[in-house]
Amino acid sequence: MDWLVNTLFEPSSIQAIIAISLISALGLQLGKIKIFNISLGITFVFFVGIVVGYFRIPMNEDILNFAQNFGLVIFVYALGLQVGPGFFSSFKKDGITLNLLALAVIFIGFAITILFSYTTNVTLPNLIGILCGAVTNTPVLGAAQQALEQVSYGDTNTLSKMALGCAIAYPLGVVGVILAIAFMRALLFPNLSNENKPEKGKSDTYVGEYHVTNPALTDKTVSEIMKHSKSRFVISRLWRDGKVSIPVSNTVIKQDDHLLIISPKSDVDSIKLIFGEQENVDWNKEDIDWNHIDKSHLVSRRIIVTRSKVNGVKLGTLKLRNLYGINITRINRAGIDLFPSPNLSLQIGDKLTVVGESASINNVSKILGDEVKRLKDPNLIAIFVGVALGLVLGAMPLPIPGMNFPIRLGIAGGPIIVGILMGAFGPRLHLTTYTTQSANMMMRQFGIVIYLACLGLGAGKDFFDTILKPEGILWVGIGFVLTVVPVILVGIISMKIYKINYSKSIGMLCGSMANPMALNYVNSTVDSDEPSVAYATVYPVSMFVRIVATQLLLLIFL
Q: For residue range 247-259, list pLDDT tens digits in order.
A: 877 888 888 888 8
pLDDT value for 228: 78
pLDDT value for 194: 42
Per the CB < 8 A criterion, the answer to whether 456 and 75 are in contact is no
Q: What is the pLDDT of residues 229-251, one digit of tens each?
A: 877 788 888 888 878 888 877 88
Domain count within the chain: 2
Q: Lowest-confidence range among 24-28, 147-151, 176-180?
A: 147-151
Q: Based on the domain organization, do 231 and 124 belong to the same domain?
A: no
pLDDT value for 142: 77
Which whole number is the average pLDDT over 438-467?
Answer: 82
Per the CB < 8 A criterion, the answer to whether 392 and 415 are in contact is no
pLDDT value for 198: 40
How many C-beta atoms lie closer than 10 Å to residue 173's C-beta?
29
pLDDT value for 261: 86
Q: Based on the domain organization, do 9 and 89 belong to the same domain?
A: yes
Per the CB < 8 A criterion, the answer to whether 221 and 250 are in contact is yes
Q: Based on the domain organization, do 51 and 173 belong to the same domain?
A: yes
Q: Lowest-confidence range among 9-18, 28-37, 362-371, 495-504?
A: 28-37
Higher pLDDT, 88 or 307: 307
pLDDT value for 459: 74
pLDDT value for 532: 65
Residue 295 clears pLDDT 60, i.e. is over it: no
Q: Based on the domain organization, do 481 and 499 belong to the same domain?
A: yes
- Whether 287 is covered by a domain: the verdict is no
Phi then psi dihedrals of residue 524, to 5 deg: -80, -10
pLDDT value for 404: 65
CA distances from 357 to 78, 240, 295, 325, 495 (A): 39, 18, 12, 8, 48
Q: Among residues of the chain, what percentage have pLDDT more than 90?
A: 15
Phi then psi dihedrals of residue 38, to 5 deg: -120, 135
Quote the mean pLDDT of the chain.
81
Higher pLDDT, 219 or 526: 219
Q: Based on the domain organization, do 402 and 511 belong to the same domain?
A: yes
pTM score of the predicted model = 0.65
Q: Based on the domain organization, do 110 and 222 belong to the same domain?
A: no
Whole-angstrom Cα distance, residue 141 to residue 129?
Answer: 6
- Whether 222 is covered by a domain: the verdict is yes
Q: Among residues of the chain, what percentage have pLDDT more than 70?
A: 83
Q: Based on the domain organization, do 137 and 222 belong to the same domain?
A: no
- Whether 490 is covered by a domain: the verdict is yes
Whole-angstrom Cα distance, residue 410 to residue 270?
Answer: 48
Residue 133 clears pLDDT 60, i.e. is over it: yes
pLDDT band at 505 (very low <50, low <70, confident <90, very high): very high
Domain termination site, one of 262, 280, 298: 280
- Whether 87 is covered by a domain: the verdict is yes
CA angle 508, 514, 517 (to 5 degrees): 95
pLDDT band at 481 (very low <50, low <70, confident <90, very high): very high
Q: Based on the domain organization, do 400 and 521 belong to the same domain?
A: yes
- Whether 299 is covered by a domain: the verdict is no
Per the CB < 8 A criterion, the answer to whether 218 and 253 are in contact is yes
Per the CB < 8 A criterion, the answer to whether 328 and 385 are in contact is no
Domain termination site, one of 247, 280, 313: 280
Q: Based on the domain organization, do 511 and 432 belong to the same domain?
A: yes
CA angle 204, 437, 319 (to 5 degrees): 55
CA distances from 2 to 14, 16, 55, 302 (A): 15, 18, 21, 61
Q: Based on the domain organization, do 208 and 122 belong to the same domain?
A: no
Residue type, 369: G
- Whether 475 is covered by a domain: the verdict is yes
- Whether 399 is covered by a domain: the verdict is yes
Residue 529 clears pLDDT 90, i.e. is over it: no
Higher pLDDT, 423 or 520: 423
Whole-angstrom Cα distance, residue 429 to residue 431?
Answer: 5
Q: Based on the domain organization, do 42 and 171 belong to the same domain?
A: yes
CA distances from 543 to 71, 103, 254, 536 (A): 17, 10, 51, 11
Q: Based on the domain organization, do 273 and 138 belong to the same domain?
A: no
Domain termination site, one of 248, 280, 312: 280
Domain that holds residue 273: 202-280
The three-class DSSP label of residue 463 is helix
The CATH number of whichever domain residue 229 belongs to comes to: 3.30.70.1450
Whole-angstrom Cα distance, residue 344 to residue 256?
Answer: 32
Residue 196 clears pLDDT 60, i.e. is over it: no
Per the CB < 8 A criterion, the answer to whether 208 and 515 are in contact is no
pLDDT value for 523: 67
Per the CB < 8 A criterion, the answer to whether 261 and 233 are in contact is yes
- Whether 289 is covered by a domain: the verdict is no
Greatest mean pLDDT among 17-21, 210-214, 280-284 lies in 17-21
